[in-house]
Amino acid sequence: MPAFLLYLVHTLFPPDTRQPTELGADFMILVTGIGIVFILTRYQKWRWLWREWLTTVDHKRIAIMYLIAAIAMLFRGGVDALMLRTNLALPNVRPIGALEYNEVFTTHGTIMIFFMAMPFIFALFNAVIPLQIGSRDVAFPRLNAMSYWLFAFGAILFNISFVIGGSPNAGWTGYPPLTEVAFNPGPGESYYFLSLLIAGIGTTITGINFLVTIIRMRAPGMTLMRMPMFVWSVLTTSALIIFAFPPLTVALALSLLDRTFGSSFFTLGHGGMPMMYVNLFWLFGHPEVYIVILPAFGIFSEVVPTFSKKRLFGYTTMVISLVSIMFLAYGTWVHHFFTMGAGPTVNAFFGLSTMLIAIPTGVKIFNWIFTMWGGRIRITVAMLYQMAFIPTFVVGGATGIMLSVVPADYQLHNSYWVVAHFHNVLIGGTVFGLLSGLYYWWPKMFGFILNERQGKVAFWLFVIGFWVTFLPQYLLGLEGMTRRMYTYPFGFGWHELNLISTLGAFIMGAGFLALVYNIVWSLRYGERDLTGDPWNGRTLEWSLPSPAPEYNFARIPVVHGVDEFWAMKESGDTLANHLRPQDVKTLELPKNTGMPFMLGLSFFVGGFGMTFLWWPIAIFGGLGVVACLLYAAFDYNDKKHLPADVIRHTERSWGRLQA
């Protein structure tokens, strides 16, 4: 028995993970875990948690769970970033060693992309899309919950790697053969492949779900060309997900087969070909960066008209540009490996296709500017993020164009120029967009408004910190500093700029803390949103109370044009004014179910077993998955009825029902 325990401890906590930072993290997690369990037990909230949240199929609640996960992951990824920057502050001074640094930049990149940006956009999809298209729910509510739990357990599997067994350490791109067992014998890379596979299934399902929702569930009268622009962006994003995630799944699965079952795809010998992984990864990876930017574009297309009090400029060209970005996004992936010798014809072709994306993107930028032109701009926090986005993203896009100039990329590839470029678009585009959407839709999601003054403080810290961090990194790129170095020697002239950059990162960190303070403060003291329409909005979600009731619309609206709610308000004819008691019918709603949670848990158990090659556990998890699927197949009792009286009562309490 002691021998077994020793084995267990040695496998789960191998010597090289017993370092101060990791022990600290272990301790933190333990304390937080005990704290949560204690609070839930103390206030007898277990049942509440299970019945109201863990089993929910309501898209609005799923949105909130996505949001919590995303903010937690922003924190985790941000702490990683601060560790990276601290290590690089001075030459040859390294608070964390190479081993940990490699783990930290890997988890930073992976978490920020897959477990921060993705759930964040899904939070907004879930919170907004059904309301904007005038629908009671998404097309497949249960699949929606399944997506969430697959994502959540994928994220948990990825995060426990830091405390159990050791994190992946081959970059967020996970290029072989570095990820093969010969070079990476620990469990880290298995964690990486398995957690991304699990979360990836969830993401693919989300893509299908929202695509079908938008295709089939729009309110009558909402033709394609009357959809709010955010809906268009989600439609194109979902299509991107559907076509982009399968190659990732294949790339990850093949790597896993190599690691676990000895196949020879990406090995050094045996005719293995690592470049195929690179090809498949970027077949996914490039569309992925548009997956995270298009929703941000959609958000800005809602925020700008609202706060400029003016219709969106160039609706048709906005749609054309979204759709062409969607198509072009599939045709550019080779720009991530121009330097893999595919030859001048291939490189020239993909260089040009990459440049082409600038055209539709530019159209959007100019359309936003001209939406503001002739408007009346109210500078709220949501609008401020948009106003920071335009200059920031244009610089990031411009430096991207310089990378697409093939010979220039020969020099700039994998240098800090690239690091600066992608933070410029990821933070300046995606994160600013998501934060803008967060402030904009927060009242709709939670029923109160985030304090604007505090929000502005967080905003300025974040934006100034951003430029101080990443502007110097362009110059570091020109100085020839390559990425993923855990430290650097003195004498290359890299130290001043690195120090400035580190300083900026801490300013950003302060901005994040201000943001969290803003949320926590507003939870208690924030102004309630009683009208349901705090910003004088233009689209249907603002026609509902905040937060929207479980059934969203007591009666499905009929749509006559773009900005339907704005038109209603202009004609003095809002929905609330003419909902008569006899319009309200008994509704059929999806019933809560524990299956999605159990499914996610089973995947988690199976994934954990496979990571450590503990086959009984892996098989147990697999059986759990089968059991969940069987349960789902034979479960016909998935609907509940919401009586018309209850709905009338709710609507009346909001003052939305005619007497």
Partner 1 sequence: MSTPAVSEPRQPIPVEFADEEESIKITGFWMFLVTDMIIFASLFAVYAVYRSRTALGPTPQQLFHLGPTVLETLLLLTSSFTIGIAVWAMRSNRPRLVLGWLIATMALGAGFVITEISDFVAYTSHGATWHVSGFLSGFYVLVGTHGAHVTFGIMWAITLLLQLRRRGLTPITRRKLFTFSLYWHFLDIVWIFIFTFVYLSGKIA
Partner 2 sequence: MQRVRSSRRALRMLALAALGIGLLVSGCGPQYVLLHPKGPVGLSELHLMEFAAIAMAVIILVVFVLFGIAVVRFRDYPGNPNPYTPHWHSHKWLETLWFIIPAVILAVIAVPTVNVTYALAKLPPTKDPVVINVTSLNWKWLFEYPNQKVATVNYLYIPVGKPVLFHLTADSPMNTFWVPSLGGMEYTMPGRVLPLWLEASKPGVYWGHSGQFSGIDFEKMFFHVHAVTESKFTAWTHRLRSSAPPMTLAAYHQLLRFNTVGSESYSSFPASTWPSVSHGFTLSGGMYLLKSNNPNPTAQH
Partner 3 sequence: MSEGMSEHSEIEAVEPGLEFLRPKFEVEGFPWAQVMGYVFSLLLTFAALLLVVYHAMPPILLLAVILALALGQAGLQLGVFMHLREGRGTAWQLLPLGLAFFIAFALIGTSIWIMLFKTGVS
Write out the residues near partner 3 by the rule CB under 8 A.
211, 215-216, 239, 242-243, 247, 273, 275-276, 279, 283, 330, 334, 341-343, 345-346
What are the structure tokens assigned to 138, written together? 């998404």
List binders of partner 2 among 309-328 (CB under 8 A).
Answer: 309-317
Residue 216 binds which entry of partner 1, Cu ion, partner 2, none, CB below 5-8 Å type-dependent:
partner 1
List binders of partner 2 among 4-43 (CB under 8 A).
Answer: 16
Residue 556 binds which entry of partner 1, partner 2, partner 3, none, CB below 5-8 Å type-dependent:
partner 1
- Name the minimum Å distance from CB 503 to partner 2: 13
List binders of partner 2 among 449-478 (CB under 8 A).
Answer: 456, 460, 463-464, 467, 471-472, 475, 477-478
| Residues forming a β-bridge with 527 | 449
Instruction: State which residue, 92 or 637, has the beta carbon closest to ligand HEA.
Output: 92
Q: How many CB atoms lie within 10 A of CB 475?
A: 18
With CB under 8 A as the contact rule, which of the stretches 3-11, 96-104, 125-133, 595-603 interacts with partner 2? 96-104
With CB atoms as reference, the residue minimizing the distance to ligand HEA is: 78
Backbone angles phi, psi at 146, to 5 degrees: -60, -45
Residue 345 binds which entry of partner 3, Cu ion, partner 1, none, CB below 5-8 Å type-dependent:
partner 3
Q: Is residue 77 a contact partner of residue 108, using CB atoms and an 8 Å limit?
A: yes
Site string for Cu ion, 208-227 (x = CB under 5 A): --------------------
Residue pointed to by tokens 């121009």: 338
- Name the minimum Å distance from CB 431 to Cu ion: 18
Instruction: Name the site residues for partner 1 (rule: CB under 8 A).
Output: 135-136, 139-140, 143, 204, 207-209, 211-212, 215-223, 242-243, 245-247, 249-251, 254, 257, 261-265, 269-273, 276, 279-280, 283, 556, 630, 633-634, 636
Q: Does 571 bind partner 2 (CB under 8 A)?
A: no
Among 198, 216, 212, smallest CA distance to 242 is for 212
| Residues forming a β-bridge with 448 | 528
In angstroms, the CA 332 to CA 351 distance is: 7
Residue 367 binds which entry of ligand HEA, partner 2, partner 3, none, CB below 5-8 Å type-dependent:
partner 2
Question: Per the omega criterion (within 30 degrees of 0), is the bond before 547 cis?
Answer: yes
Q: Does 187 bind partner 2 (CB under 8 A)?
A: no
What are the structure tokens assigned to 266, written together? 């990406």
Using alpha carbons, list the distances in angstroms from residue 132 to 124, 532, 543, 559, 582: 11, 14, 10, 11, 24
Q: Is residue 7 a contact partner of residue 165, using CB atoms and an 8 Å limit?
A: no
Residue 443 binds which entry of partner 1, Cu ion, ligand HEA, none, CB below 5-8 Å type-dependent:
none
Q: Is residue 554 a contact partner of residue 647, using CB atoms and an 8 Å limit?
A: yes
Instruction: State which residue, 26 or 479, has the beta carbon closest to partner 2.
Output: 479
Q: Is residue 94 a contact partner of residue 32, using CB atoms and an 8 Å limit?
A: no
List binders of partner 2 among 144-173 (CB under 8 A).
Answer: 169-171
In eight-state DSSP terms, residue 527 is E
- Name the minimum Å distance from CB 270 to partner 1: 5
Q: Does 330 bind partner 2 (CB under 8 A)?
A: no
What are the structure tokens assigned to 137, written together? 């729910």
Residue 377 binds which entry of Cu ion, partner 2, partner 1, none, CB below 5-8 Å type-dependent:
partner 2
Among 218, 224, 78, smallest CA distance to 134 is for 218
- Strand-pair category, 587-590 with 448-449: unpaired
Residue 312 Cα to chain centre, angstroms = 26
Which residue in the set 206, 237, 367, 518 belongs to the binding site for partner 2 (CB under 8 A)? 367
- Name the minimum Å distance from CB 146 to partner 2: 35
- Name the minimum Å distance from CB 350 to ligand HEA: 8
Backbone angles phi, psi at 16, to 5 degrees: -75, -5
- Strand-pair category, 527-528 with 448-449: antiparallel
- Which residues in 124-136 are b (16+ Cβ under 10 Å) and which e? bbbbbbbbbbbbb
Angle at 165 between CA 613 and CA 267, to 5 degrees: 60
List binders of partner 2 among 385-414 (CB under 8 A).
Answer: 387-388, 390-391, 394-395, 398-399, 401-402, 405-414
Instruction: State which residue, 143 or 383, has the beta carbon closest to partner 1.
Output: 143
- Name the minimum Å distance from CB 477 to partner 1: 32
- Name the minimum Å distance from CB 341 to partner 3: 5
Using alpha carbons, list the distances in angstroms from residue 255 to 182, 251, 274: 13, 6, 10
Residue 117 binds which entry of partner 3, partner 1, ligand HEA, none, CB below 5-8 Å type-dependent:
ligand HEA
Instruction: State which residue, 58 or 103, has the beta carbon closest to ligand HEA.
Output: 103
Which residue in the set 60, 61, 259, 286 belongs to the binding site for Cu ion (CB under 5 A)? 286
Q: Is residue 465 a contact partner of residue 511, using CB atoms and an 8 Å limit?
A: yes
With CB under 5 A as the contact rule, which of the stretches 209-217, 278-286, 451-459, 597-605 interacts with Cu ion? 278-286
Which residue in the set 224, 348, 530, 630 belongs to the binding site for partner 2 (CB under 8 A)? 348
Q: Is residue 131 a contact partner of residue 548, using CB atoms and an 8 Å limit?
A: yes
What are the structure tokens assigned to 130, written together? 């059904």
In angstroms, the CA 402 to CA 525 distance is: 47
Residue 222 binds which entry of partner 2, ligand HEA, partner 1, none, CB below 5-8 Å type-dependent:
partner 1
The number of residues that bind partner 2 (CB under 8 A) is 109
Which residue in the set 363, 382, 438, 515 belongs to the binding site for partner 2 (CB under 8 A)? 363
For every residue of 434-483, DSSP letters joined together read HHHHHHHHHHHHHSEEPPHHHHHHHHHHHHHHHHHHHHHHHHHHHTTPBS
With CB under 8 A as the contact rule, which of the stretches 149-157, 382-390, 437-445, 581-589 interacts with partner 2? 382-390
What are the structure tokens assigned to 501, written together? 């950059």
Residue 208 binds which entry of partner 1, partner 3, Cu ion, none, CB below 5-8 Å type-dependent:
partner 1
Instruction: Name the site residues for ligand HEA (rule: CB under 6 A).
Output: 74-75, 78-79, 81-82, 84-85, 105-106, 108-109, 112-113, 117, 171-173, 289, 292-293, 335-336, 354, 357-358, 361-362, 365, 394, 397-398, 400-401, 403-404, 409, 413-414, 418-419, 421-423, 425-427, 429-431, 469, 483-485, 505, 508-509, 512-513
Using alpha carbons, list the distances in angstroms from residue 631 to 138, 154, 593, 594, 624: 22, 22, 11, 11, 10
Question: What residues line the site for Cu ion (CB under 5 A)?
Answer: 286
